[in-house]
Amino acid sequence: MVPDPTPFPLDHLTLRGASDAPALTVGGETLRYAALEEAVGRAADRLLALGLQPGDRVATWMGKTKLACLMPLAAARAGLIHVPINPVLRRAQAEHILADSGTRLLVANRARLETLEQRPAQAVALEEWQDGDEALPPSKADPHALAALLYTSGSTGRPKGVMLSHANLWLGAISVAHYLGLTASDRTLCVLPLAFDYGQNQLLSTWAAGGEAVAFDYLLPRDVVRAVERTGATVLAGVPPLWVQLAEQAWDGAGASLRTLTNSGGHMPEPLVRRLRTLFPEARLHLMYGLTEAFRSSSLDPALVDATPDAVGTAIPFAELSVRRPDGSAATAGEEGELVHAGPLVAQGYWDDPERTAQRFREGAVWSGDRAVIGSDGLLRIRGRDDAMIKVSGHRISPSEIEEAALASGAVADCAALGVKDERLGQRIVLVAVAKGEDAEVRLKRWFAAELPAHMRPGDIRWVDALPLSPNGKIDRATLAAELGA
């Protein structure tokens, strides 16, 4: 059955669950849906009491506190635009987001506020936050009004704010809840940053299904294992670097409660897919693809994961996908091109940046910059980004092909392949890798010689203790490229 395509104001998500059912557990406190509705209303009342006007931007810069979880809905109820800032960002990155968005109010931990050299007109320390005296009722906002600015990680320049409407976020939550099969009995352990669209949707899709979201900040992957066991979590979302760490843990039955696992934010290597299927044979694994400008795009039916672990499936509800040639015409089955997204999940563009908006958003669609192919089986496969492809002696090589081969060798725990300028070859391949076991380099080179043609073999292998990660937990390829002079 297709989910209802009618968008509603985002803050109406508090009405999706039974009033006495648990909705949010955070900091040792559990709010049931009736209490969540009241808390959102009181937080919205407080925002207006501070003198904010409809359309003003309000930023939050904190970990997964109660207020951080409420603010996406509270700001929407007050007619404001929420700007969540990832708590791992430092002063300079936070100041850029605050200035670029024109944020009028910032709520953050006192320690974070004290690092800022430039602040918005109003700043409130989290420790001093007080909810309003009254609870505002559910809003009557236009679903197509702007509700949030989510800033990208800035892997290709300074972060830019993606403009998301109530409808974008509402339909995204409904879509994900539908295709994941979430129900009121589900308990989602929310470990991803809430400033990340994938992370924020942990809350929104769970509430769309009437389930319980458990907000959790972790330091070590072992903390996640313990939290899954302690909470009886049924749903867990991750990005590839986190799944790599979790796959190395001794679960010893701790994940028995898990029934739904999801991956997005990067390609899941086949050896990692196989490992997760072994660890959690009863859980459905959803291999997904998305980008902030279109929220979420595709998901692979868990029943197909074992046979086609290289695919990311078909379009999710409300998403429209096509693969296009440079001239805009549709590619044929099996023909590589640029992945283009259309439909009501597509964002409204980049905040205060008409030039970049015009480059990416055309005729109601967003051109992703990702190279992709839809096979004869109808499944989408991502080949890499246009700007990430490595060109060696005229050959176009996807970094993921090299990375897959390295991981399959058993000599590498994690890796990233990049192209570095070379006068003779155009580019040469550099592999930055984390060793696994003894004599890793000898085993890896032997594997490459047997499995890869000469032009795909890395000319340089750099061994590191760990790969740098972006604020959203993905491999930070921009940092690696800068270090390598790529």
Q: Which domains does the chain have, with CATH numbers?
A: 10-374 (3.40.50.12780), 388-484 (3.30.300.30)
Kindly tell me the burial class for residue 249, based on how many C-beta atoms sit within 10 Å of its own C-beta (0-12, 13-18, 19 or more): middle
pLDDT at 486: 64
pLDDT at 155: 39
Kindly tell me the burial class for residue 303, based on how many C-beta atoms sit within 10 Å of its own C-beta (0-12, 13-18, 19 or more): exposed
Q: Number of C-alpha atoms within 13 angstroms, CB side, residue 401?
A: 17
Among 216, 277, 212, which Cα is nearest to 243's? 277
Euclidean distance between CA atoms 276 and 273, whole angstroms:
5
Please report which confidence band the pLDDT of residue 400 belongs to, taking 50, 70 and 90 as the band edges: confident
Percent of the chain with pLDDT over 70: 97
- In whole numbers, what is the pLDDT of the chain averaged over residues? 93
Is the Cβ–Cβ distance between 373 and 383 less than 8 Å?
yes
Q: Classify 382 as helix, strand or coil.
A: strand
Q: Classify 232 as helix, strand or coil.
A: coil
Is the Cβ–Cβ distance between 164 and 144 less than 8 Å?
no
Q: What is the pTM of this model?
A: 0.86
pLDDT of 395 over the 70 cut: no
Please report which confidence band the pLDDT of residue 393 belongs to, taking 50, 70 and 90 as the band edges: low
Beta strands in 86-207 (DSSP E): 105-108, 122-125, 146-151, 161-165, 187-190
420 DSSP β-pair partners: 428
Beta strands in 75-157 (DSSP E): 81-85, 105-108, 122-125, 146-151
pLDDT tens for 54-82 read: 999 999 999 999 999 999 999 999 999 99
Asked which of 100-104, 168-172, 393-397 is least confident by mean pLDDT, the reply is: 393-397
Please report which confidence band the pLDDT of residue 404 belongs to, taking 50, 70 and 90 as the band edges: confident
